[in-house]
A and B are shown apart, each in its own frame.
Chain A
Amino acid sequence: MSGAFRIPGAGRLKQAKTARFNFDGQAYTGIEGDTLASALLANGVHLVGRSFKYHRPRGILSAGAEEPNALVEIKRDAARKTPNVRATVQELYDGLEAQSQNRWPSLSFDVGAVNDIASPLFSAGFYYKTFMWPKAAWKSLYEPKIRAAAGLGVSPDQPDPDHYSSRYGHCDVLVLGGGAAGIAAALAAAETGVRVILADEQAEFGGSLRFETGAGIDGQDGFAWAQAAIAELQGMDNVRVLSRTTAFGYYAQNFVGLVERVSDHLSTPGHDLPRERLWQVRAKRVVLASGAIERHMVFADNDRPGIMLAGAARTYLNHYGVAVGRQVGVYTANDSAYAAAIDLKKAGVQVAAIVDLRDHPTGPVIDEARALGIEVNFGRAVIRAGGKLRVSSMTVQPKNGGGERTIPVDAILMSAGWTPSVHLFSQSRGKVAFNDETKRFVPGTYAQDCVSVGACNGTDGLSATIDEAYAAGEKAAKDTGAKTVKSNRPKVDASESWSRGMLGAAPGAGPDTTVKAFVDFQNDVTAKDIRQAVHEGMRSIEHVKRFTTNGMATDQGKTSNMHGLAIAAEELGKPIPEVGLTTFRAPYTPVTFGAIVSHARGPLFDPTRKTAIHPWAEAQGAVFEDVGQWKRAWYFPKAGEDMHAAVDRECVAVRKTAGLFDASTLGKIEVVGPDAAKFMELLYTNPWEKLEPGRCRYGIMLREDGFIYDDGVVGRLAPDRFHVTTTTGGAPRVMNHMEDYLQTEFPHLNVWLTSITEQWAVIAVQGPKSRDIIAPLVEGIDMSDEALPHMSVREGKICGVPTRLFRMSFTGERGFEVNVPADYGQAVWEALWAEGQKHDAAAYGTEAMHVLRAEKGYIIVGQDTDGTVTPNDAGLDWAVGKKKADFVGIRGMARPDLVAKGRKQLVGLKTKDPKVVLEEGAQIVEDPKQAIPMKMIGHVTSSYWSENCGRSIALALVAGGRDRMGDTLYVPMPNGVIEVEVSSMVFFDETGGRLNG
């Protein structure tokens, strides 16, 4: 048995295929093809959730994505818990487990419902008014309490184990919405042979043909025609048909984001299937066929479970074979609800009465309802619903007042008319226009190459819809260059037509009342709240929206927008178009982070760059640190060593014997061409023209503002060839900076720039024994100090492979940097390492490299400079060519503030207690006894324990620092003030003799 409310013979589901499921711990049975909502209704379950603010019992309002109430948690296992799933969208599978939300301890008895009784406290804007005092209570009391109470559902607390995929799509015509209009447009476009994508959010195509019993096309029932048309489209090579696919965002230049739910409807999704697939589609033309959404009636207690949209009740009956009650009432202001009453009556359900707000409506549906013996009341309103956990009655009154009559019902079907779904159109930046006659906002001015057809365009009637949609499909195809083909336009045999309906609060929920007549179910906004917002001074509909939260969050006003607007307009005494419509924002319905992130997570989030020598370092047990995308060996701990011990040992080894360091991540750019030297003159502060081939120079690059941008050693290999090195992190931006100037400011220079970072592996060999280690392996390069002095470069061979051998030092010791083609990097390293072992050399990592360079006062751009440091500030005036007429930064450097006295300058700091190591970033003051806030005169940029110096060392930016040599300054820390002495930046080998040692 698949539910007591399943009507034999009704609907399209195959009774034989049952599916067991569980809701709040109770076991039920449904049928394959059900949604969770239809299966619950088949079992007579209407109460499915509690509302957001007042915790009011809530049922199922709709049969689609516009559902504001029936939000549940779907749980597959401990990690797969999805909150706020619309029960009306979730397809049933065998073993589905669902739970209601926003209630404690249980759905039928919820303590939070006290909010409903206390509702005067929680009216519109309460949040802004109630929690103002006392001020201190906000952080300690109000905010935590509100945060705990607010929000719907519970976020999963484990990593998402599912995987998601992502695809780009390209087509000539993208059709969004697969009802009658979308199918007709897709057919028309597809027949011309252009590439078509047709997407619909439902599992089955057809849109409102799912419930319209009065539709006939090409000699078939409407729904059957839709299925046949989809089968035809699926068979065409130029068409892609996507079901369960929601177009959630419409972006610039016909770029549309869609999410396809691939396996959420499967009982046991195969591991090879993604859960969802993100489609990013670029279309030449877009046809919007998103349909219309039925509005509810705004009356007192219109949110009781069992009260739902008339069209939804028809869908449950005609598609799922489910009666939403046994004794239903109908409350309407248009014709379409009559069809629901008629269908139900014919299926054997009692229809207690139709209550129609209109005074004298006429038409075939009204005649048919009467002929079936249904009581029809004109000019009357439902002023109140009875019941709490389920509606039990409706109280009817003539709309201008008079005697009340209460009719027992177990469901109320309502319809205030249909709102064209212009969400995607609005997202495309199109402007809607108000049709005064039909009281609808419809697409007005288009901003992109798209067209709206059918109900979302305000087109009424199946014939007109199909004609319009087919013509639009043909035109869209033709606009993309398709040839005209013989038209095969579907012929409409029979159709239903619905007249307009009403907007705003119904009688009995007017300004003189205090009843809870809900406008926005999801955000618990009543007609009274909207009016209150206007009374409190909100004039713009955007302000009303924010003050009341009407139409916000995941709902985006699907059912509520027009009612809210009409009530605000009435209260403001303005026509609706003057009050305006709020902005529809993407996403149309919520999109999982998983779908957007796709595979770009974990190790695939960002590329990992490894040097050629990485495997060797890994095998040696190196600890790595991330430097940008690079993995760099940080230090090489021996057994029993902590970081401190390892770094101390590495630092001592370099100065005592030698050390090997993998410097491959260094950025490297080759500057080549007849004008290479001229280009270097313009991009660096230093003079280059006179640098002899075979020599190197430390270069500083500035931005136009005069601040240090990058630095590095540059070797001139030939008159027309420079080997430029940059900082590890700066390589891409330096390359961009150079290209920018070369292409746009100095295009007359004949120069080529090539990134060679990854072409060369770089092995730094530093220390007194460095030459002894390298020399035996080198061919064709005289290694003597006379032939290869400090700051020179030679090309030759090492271990039989080509090398660019630099004599240079970032440690202050005699040093070399061996560049070899990256493919030989590890082999050459291993050969050098084997030689190094004869001399007790150590491998050292980036931490030791930092300490060694700080001992010598060599700066690191980005650590000791921060984008506001000039060469002079850094003590690097010597590197600025004084006779140069131009270079990037020459003018910026001369700005008044950059040459003013008292600028922060880089200096050394020695703590009075040599054992104390300062914290990097710590602030420096002159007088530690001054009142707080103290005047800070600088900060520590680099700080280390130096085993070679036997004390701590630090670099700092200090105002007027070079005039303070020998002064005592103070570093206030939480545990007390640290005394420091301003010193030279060079802590080790001040004369520099060791460069040739």
Chain B
Amino acid sequence: MLLIRCPYCEEERPELEFRNAGEAHIARSANMAGESDDDFEKFFFIRSNPKGIIYERWRHMHGCARFFNAVRDTVTDKFIMTYKAGEPKPSNLPKISNEVVAK
């Protein structure tokens, strides 16, 4: 079970309190009705499904109930950071080594 830091509660809480809500930073068009078929396809159907760093949405369902964003490594399942909804996609990720060198 993962530990996830809620950026609103400013606490690490167990995964049981959270729900994943899919990929982050997919903006809904301000002119939705005018979107082309291609643009709508990209918006609604296409997801990056990366091996490695993913930007995704979570909801602190059984806590403050807020939606927020997280950066997670899909290979190691490690969270690199979490941040509030509406904040820009972070460009400089803090370096987190996936592996601790042999002790």
Contacts and interface: CB of A to CB of B under 8 A. Distances in A.
Interface of A: 251-253, 255, 280, 282, 429, 431, 433, 443-449, 451, 472, 704-705, 736, 739-740, 743-745, 747, 885-886, 890-892, 894-896
Interface stretch (B28-36, B48-56, B88-96): B28-36
Contact of A429 (B14, B32, B33, B76): B76
Contact of B40 (A282, A444, A892): A892
A449 B3 CA distance: 14
Contact of B37 (A429, A445, A896): A896
Contacts of A451: 103
Contacts of B99: 431, 445-447
B46 interface: no
A577 B103 CA distance: 20
A446 B37 contact: no
Contact of B1 (A255, A444, A890): A255
Contact of B44 (A282, A705, A744): A705
B35 A444 contact: no
- What 3 A-B pairs come out closest when comparing CB atoms? A446-B100, A743-B67, A891-B32
Contacts of B40: 891-892, 895
A472 B103 CA distance: 10
Contacts of B21: 740
Interface in B1-43: 1-3, 14, 19, 21, 28-29, 32-33, 35, 37, 40
Contacts of B67: 739-740, 743-744
Contact of B3 (A253, A891, A894): A253
Interface residues of B, number: 30
Given A446-B103, A895-B40, A886 B32 contact: yes
A448 B103 CA distance: 11
Q: Which of A253, A444, A446, A705 has the most B CB atoms < 10 Å from its CB?
A: A253
A735 B40 CA distance: 25
Interface string B61-103: 1000111000000001100000001100000000000111111
B37 A743 contact: no
A839 to B, nearest CB: 45
Contacts of A449: 100
21 contacts: A252-B1, A255-B1, A429-B76, A431-B99, A433-B102, A445-B101, A445-B102, A447-B76, A447-B98, A704-B44, A736-B61, A739-B67, A743-B66, A743-B67, A743-B85, A744-B57, A744-B85, A745-B28, A885-B33, A890-B33, A891-B40
Chain A interface main SS type: mixed
Contacts of B65: 739
B35 A891 contact: yes
Contacts of B103: 446, 451, 472
B38 to A, nearest CB: 12
B33 A895 contact: no
B98 A446 contact: no
Given A447-B76, A744-B67, A892 B102 contact: no
B86 A446 contact: no
Contacts, number: 71
Contacts of A890: 32-33
Contacts of A895: 37, 40
A448 B2 CA distance: 12
A885 B3 CA distance: 42
Given A252-B77, A445-B99, A445-B102, 6 more contacts: A446-B101, A739-B67, A740-B59, A744-B86, A890-B32, A891-B29
A960 B19 CA distance: 40
Nearest to B67: A743
Contacts of A744: 57, 67, 85-86
A682 to B, nearest CB: 10
A448 B28 CA distance: 38
A443 B44 contact: no
A433 B103 CA distance: 12
Given A891-B32, A895-B40, A253 B2 contact: yes
A747 B86 CA distance: 9
A752 to B, nearest CB: 12
Contacts of B35: 891
Contacts of A739: 59, 65, 67
Nearest to A894: B33
A251 B3 CA distance: 11
A883 to B, nearest CB: 11
B32 A446 contact: no
B76 to A, nearest CB: 7
Contact of A443 (B3, B28, B102): B102
Contacts of A433: 102
Nearest to A704: B44
A750 to B, nearest CB: 16
A885 B1 CA distance: 44
Contact of A252 (B2, B32, B61, B98): B2
A112 to B, nearest CB: 43
A431 B65 CA distance: 38
B57 to A, nearest CB: 7
